[in-house]
Chains A and B, each alone.
Chain A
Amino acid sequence: MSDPLTAALVAWLLGAVDGSLPLAAGTQPAALTLQGGFAAVGEAIFAALRWVLAQWYWLMDWAYYLTGLEMLNPRYRYMHRAILVGLCVGVMAPLIGTFLVHRQLALIGDALAHTAFAGVAVGLFLNAVIDLGVSPYLTAVVVAMIAALFIELISETTDAYNDVSMAIVLSTGFALGTTLISLNAGGLAVGVNQFLFGSLSTVSPQSAGILLVLFVVIVGTVAVTRNQLLYVTFDETAAAVSGISVNWYNRVMVMLTAMVVVGAMQIMGVILVAAMLVVPVAGATQVSRSFTESLVVSVVLAELAVLLGIAVAYYGGVTAGGVIVLVAVGIYVCAVGVGKLQSARGGREVPEMGSIETDDADPSAGTGGD
């Protein structure tokens, strides 16, 4: 590593992602100021994350003393972290999924999950070969975001999202992942299952911290750009005419999707992660009348699926990802039924259309008729 700046950044990254290394270790004098700045910011973020986790443990301890639920026992900190991750996923997955589903881009989550798997493989490979000590979730975020931009660029070039480009990215991601794993099978294959199928017990403080950062970024970005994302989702051409940069917001959306996928991958696994983007949203669509209502309902349905799924997985000793998806699908089926009932009951009263009114217009013009 000849470049001192790069050396400083890598040293900070290693320090930041691997608690065993002191922050800013092994740096060179030329980069000390910059590195010091990064290290200070990094330390502040990680201190905040540690504080949030500590408060969460405290909250869960109280929940245990109040409910007596075994899965909340203070001895099982991993369950506390799994519940925290699940709750965050239950908010951010349907939040992004709502925009994807209504643009008929439900499959993009699956494609990005498979590229995130390649990112995990890259992380594991680098750790095994050059002992980099980086979290596989961090490499997964990077690789998935690059893939997301790649999909978006293909769609901008060809003027349409298409199954073919998603299938190519999906297959390439999975192929890269399996190849890297097979290159060093002895060292990597052991930990691959948790990424493929997800696991409650392997949510480390470090990966919970990464997810909290992703959560803040995703929710914050959606809060600020929700109007533009909605306009682009509903009517892309009208949005472009109104001056909204459609390509820019499409890129934002796919990047956020990549982050959600990696965040949810911890407990859902690569294979099932896309379900959290789609199934709660599909359920909410059945019973909601407005877009705002559908966002809220999809989050509620997702949280229900996550909490029930984690509980069943814990007490039944089964894989959490699979149970969460099965519960979500069960909820979806119920939502379809409720939606049909709503349709049967509603819609009988049709309000009358008003008159067309402009100051120079005949008030009686264009009345009713539709």
Chain B
Amino acid sequence: MSANDAASATVGESAERATEAAAEADESVIDLAGVTFGYTATPVVEDVSLRVEPGEYVAVVGPNGSGKSTLMRLMLGLLGPDAGTARLFGEDAARFDDGERVGYVAQQAAAAEDMPITVREVVKMGRFPYLGLDRLSDGAFADELADDPVRTARRTANVVSGRLTADDWETVDDALATVGMSAFADRRIGRLSGGQRQRVFIARALAGEADLLVLDEPTVGVDAESVDAFYDLLDALNDAGITVVLIEHDLGAVVEHADRVVCLNREVYFDGPTDEFVESDALARAFGTEARFLTGGAE
């Protein structure tokens, strides 16, 4: 078994175990019920109900300003709904504290162009949720200490000092191998192309052993050839059991890759299989609303 095979096996096995565990517990990955939210009195997202089950590949589409990114922030607990409930892996999204289970990939602009930081250092961040003083309050800590005091003491020292263990580094390198970026590990991320950078951010999520990957218009500003490679990567990860939620404006990519489409324009216009979405008039209705709004027509 090559290093890459080992890496891929690790990703696949980990995600599949998580998927099976979630399915056994009848636990939706994301569960929004009647969610309404507005930055002002006017709601940006209104009465949205949405369940994402383990292993799904869901794309959220809609015109500009339709509330896609706001919906994503609600899903992740970064915003609290004005009405309704948002749950992540069965927990209240705002209080969800298993952050390593969620990988987030933003538009490439999020990465500081001039910051001197290597690809490996970025991917390493995926392991940070496993480090830090707050990890010591983990309920399992006392049990582990009783079972294996030496190993636990060593792990505690690493957690407190913020040092990655050899196992952590192996996970980081495996994640890089999985996205085909091992050769770029010591390069400054600012020197990479848009598509390469997005692969690195996927690797960061994999390093955290995420069960859910949330991507907010990840291919904006990425050249066409790299976009294809990027979506192939998402397909492969989804096939390996990772749940994918994709906020996307590129309808062609959505139709080609996602299993399910949610069409949003403040409220949900369509939620179903991709082939049904293609044949429905949801897109025309959702985008048509926006067109009428822009020309001053009242809905």
Point out residues on A near B: beta carbons under 8 Å: 102, 223-228, 230-231, 233-235, 237-244, 284-285, 288-294, 347, 351-363, 365-370
Contacts and interface: CB of A to CB of B under 8 A. Distances in A.
Given A237-B106, A353-B180, A359 B8 contact: yes
B189 to A, nearest CB: 9
Interface stretch (B18-26, B140-148, B234-242): B234-242
Interface in B185-224: 186-188, 191-196, 199, 201, 204, 208, 214, 223
B128 A244 contact: yes
B254 interface: no
A interface: dominant SS: loop
A131 to B, nearest CB: 42
Top 5 A-B residue pairs of the complex, sorted by shortest distance between their CB atoms: A243-B99, A361-B236, A354-B180, A359-B12, A351-B183
A230 B128 CA distance: 10
Contacts of A237: 78, 104, 106, 110
Nearest to B112: A102
Given A228-B132, A351-B184, A366 B112 contact: no
B281 interface: no
Nearest to B78: A240
Contacts of B230: 366
Contacts of B99: 241-244
B interface: dominant SS: helix
A197 to B, nearest CB: 32
Interface stretch (B115-123, B244-252, B262-270, B291-299): B115-123
B116 A243 contact: no
A368 B228 CA distance: 10
Interface string B68-87: 00000000101000000000
Given A357-B8, A366-B230, 16 more contacts: A223-B161, A227-B125, A230-B121, A241-B78, A285-B115, A289-B116, A289-B186, A290-B118, A354-B183, A356-B229, A357-B7, A358-B239, A359-B11, A361-B240, A365-B236, A369-B195
A357 B196 CA distance: 15
A340 to B, nearest CB: 14
A357 B225 contact: no
Contacts of A233: 115
B232 A366 contact: yes
28 contacts: A224-B161, A227-B128, A231-B125, A231-B128, A234-B122, A235-B106, A238-B104, A238-B106, A241-B78, A241-B104, A242-B129, A289-B116, A289-B187, A290-B117, A352-B183, A353-B183, A353-B196, A354-B4, A356-B232, A357-B5, A357-B7, A357-B8, A359-B9, A361-B235, A365-B236, A366-B228, A367-B229, A370-B194
A196 B251 CA distance: 60
Contacts of A243: 96-100, 129
A227 B112 contact: no
Given A234-B117, A285-B116, A291-B115, A242 B102 contact: yes
Contact residue range for chain B?
Answer: 35 or more
A359 B117 CA distance: 30
A274 to B, nearest CB: 19
B185 to A, nearest CB: 9
A356 B236 contact: yes
B177 interface: yes
A99 B114 CA distance: 13
B115 A234 contact: yes
B110 A238 contact: yes
Contact of A370 (B117, B129, B177, B229): B229
B107 to A, nearest CB: 10
Given A231-B128, A370-B195, A357 B114 contact: no
B136 interface: no
Given A293-B116, A352-B183, A242 B100 contact: yes
Contact of B178 (A352, A356, A367, A370): A356
B33 interface: no
A159 to B, nearest CB: 10
B228 A369 contact: yes
Most B Cβ at <10 Å: residue of A227, A241, A290, A367: A241
Nearest to A360: B239
B197 to A, nearest CB: 9
Contacts of B240: 358-361
B36 to A, nearest CB: 20
A293 B121 CA distance: 11
B233 interface: yes
A365 B232 contact: yes
A291 B121 contact: yes
